[in-house]
Structure 1
């Protein structure tokens, strides 16, 4: 593979841009994940994460920030997942 090839350069740029967008959506500067973030991290659906919350398998707190008035939101501390990538379902 020739990394100097303009097609390869364009592909690398597009992949890097997509990765930055994905990471920015996961709030990498925050101390917390959303339910969606945890679902993506462990490659499960959001219902599984809600089940983990209900069964107290993961730590969480209620998100009372503005905009969460219609439905309950959860803040899930990132620190509990250090070194983990897959949970047992």
Structure 2
């Protein structure tokens, strides 16, 4: 199992644009961990939602900041460890 980085982020996905999808692990209960995106330039962008909600939103909502809804018609995912 991966462990959180020193900044408290636990990476669960990497984008083709070198962004990192993470959990913010400050709360002791993993069920309460919000999602954050760490951009390729090091900016952390928090989202007050679960990873499931975040993925649903980026796949379906064309207005989402990190949308994939209007870019591809077939979605695929690669886990973090395979992407290294």
Q: TM > 0.5 between the two?
A: no
Higher relative contact order (CA 8 A, sep 6+): 1
TM-score, L = length of structure 2: 0.31
Structure number with higher strand proportion: 2
TM-score, L = length of structure 1: 0.30
Structure number with higher helix proportion: 1
